[in-house]
Amino acid sequence: MGKTTGFLEYERQDGFVRKEADRVGDFREFHEQLSQADRQKQAARCMNCGIPFCQAGVMIAGMASGCPLHNLVPEWNDLVYRGRMAEAYRRLTITHSFPEFTSRVCPALCEAACTCGLHDAPVATKENEKSVIEYAYANDLVHEDSPEVRTGKKVAVVGSGPSGLAAAQLLNRRGHEVTVYERSDRVGGLLRYGIPNMKLDKLLIDRRIRLMEEAGVRFITGADVGNTVSAEDLKKEYDAVILCCGASNPRDIKAPGRDAGGIRFAVNFLSEVTKRLLDSDFEDVPTDLAKGRDVIVIGGGDTGNDCVGTCIRLGAKSVTQLEMMPEPPASRLPSNPWPQWPRILKVDYGQDEAIWKFGSDPRVYQTTVKEFIKDKKGDLKEVVLVSLKPVRDEKTGRMNMVPEEGTERRVPAGLVLIAAGFLGSEQYVTDAFGVERDGRTNVKTDAGKHLTSIPGIYTAGDMHRGQSLVVWAIAEGRSVAKEVDEHLMGYTNL
């Protein structure tokens, strides 16, 4: 696959990224593509490695190695190298529903497991994927064809995030009548309101939704199932219901002064920013949310990084990102061998922008908030930070991060964004359908299955597996579609 000696001849080259001074002034996407000739060279680096771990999608040491969608990476890389882009698109879409999303927001599990990456830089598979799907759109190759024959079966999908959209796409192609219910004012779920526009342009979502609507998928927004829309009514009207509501129950920080004004959950903050931008066609940049404020972001993951980049664009005075765990090593440790996911230090776009803006990495490791300090009006003015140290639990053997006495210090804070992860599905939805939940508050199913404790009710995505990645959500959506189709028809060809 690829050019036999390509990985020896060509160095890895990523697409052009706009300079920080240029990109922090707007919310446009900042990662550009290489020319077709340069992209072919990058695809040429894909080795004929024999065992393509990139497409394995297996769990190793509790972490995913390779693509959960089992994308046929070496095959379409080879086609990109040969300039056969239309064929590359067809090969990619055998396994993938929405390459335009993952090629922008996925952490590239495929690249982490790339054989070329064992001793050199991995193949730029994520950007190769982006080139394939954008070529396909530019050349009118992307279609959502309406099925010639309808089955007469009706399916409701609750939630229009990546899992819900993937399930709706495949079930509609199969001939079922699919209706997607979304509680927000726009379709997209996490893709729409959980990811900033500079990372995923919302026009890309609209582009895909238009195709799905033309093919017969029905979308109903402003429909909060379990609240404004009756779960019982859905059970009666549809032959199957799929719950794809996400893990939208945020983990809180319980510390004195938590009721101070100026403390927000990160996704709610990001959602408000995006909504105001979209509602005003990007004329209303909500600088009032962060301008001139000292911002503390609690959480070192992707959402925390998105908060850093967003607050810089909104004119924050300073941004500090707190991470409970120790700083990762610069390179793999012997205990973290390839093809495991590399637990190493990475600098994402938000941190890059903070380094450019403020002169240092915003992340502070082994630190959390011990107390929130309010002013006379009840608004946040400071936080008390405390260092953490690892202490092993004698009973469980687990390493816990506990406060270290004498390390407390006060720092100014006008806005705190809590990006500490999620605790699973929201209870009002699960209660409305009467489905069982597991110990992590995810909807409970048999291992490897999507059917809940209630006949005819299925689940997929973060609501099923817990907070995860867009690529995992798409894989879950495709998997539940197959299970539902088999239930409705007695067999499945999905």
- What would the two tokens of residue 147 be? 């099925």
In this predicted model, what pLDDT tens digit does every residue of 66-90 receive, in sequence order?
A: 999 999 999 999 999 999 999 999 9
Q: Is residue 11 left, alpha or beta, with left meaning phi > 0 and alpha meaning psi from -120 to 50?
A: beta
Pair 470, 162: CB distance under 8 Å: yes
Percent of the chain with pLDDT over 70: 100
Q: Helix (H, G, I), strand (E, B), or coil: what is residue 190?
A: helix
Mean pLDDT of the chain: 96
pTM comes to 0.96
What residues does each domain of the chain span? 6-138, 154-248+423-489, 263-418
Judge whether residue 394 has pLDDT over 90.
Answer: no
Identify the pLDDT of residue 16. 94
Closest CA relative to residue 314, chosen from 26, 41, 46: 26
Pair 98, 36: CB distance under 8 Å: no
Strand blocks (E) in 134-176: 154-158
- Residue 55 CA to residue 112 CA, distance in Å, equals 11
- Residue 356 CA to residue 349 CA, distance in Å, equals 11
Decide which of 3.30.300.30, 3.50.50.60, 3.30.70.1560, 1.10.1060.10 is the CATH code for 154-248+423-489. 3.50.50.60
Judge whether residue 2 has pLDDT over 80.
Answer: no
CATH code of domain 263-418: 3.50.50.60
In this predicted model, what pLDDT tens digit does every residue of 238-268 receive, in sequence order?
A: 999 999 999 988 999 999 999 999 999 999 9
Q: Which CATH superfamily is domain 6-138 in?
A: Alpha-helical ferredoxin (1.10.1060.10)
- Residue 362 CA to residue 349 CA, distance in Å, equals 12
In this predicted model, what pLDDT tens digit does every residue of 125-167 receive, in sequence order?
A: 999 999 999 999 999 999 998 999 999 999 999 999 999 999 9
Query: Considering all CA atoms of the chain, what is the largest pairwise distance in Å, rounded to the nearest integer?
Result: 71
Identify the pLDDT of residue 4. 87
Pair 102, 58: CB distance under 8 Å: no
Identify the pLDDT of residue 1. 65
In this predicted model, what pLDDT tens digit does every residue of 173-205 receive, in sequence order?
A: 999 999 999 999 999 999 999 999 999 999 999
E strand or H helix that includes residue 38: helix 36-44
CA of residue 222 relative to chain centroid, distance: 22
Domains 154-248+423-489 and 263-418 share a fold: yes
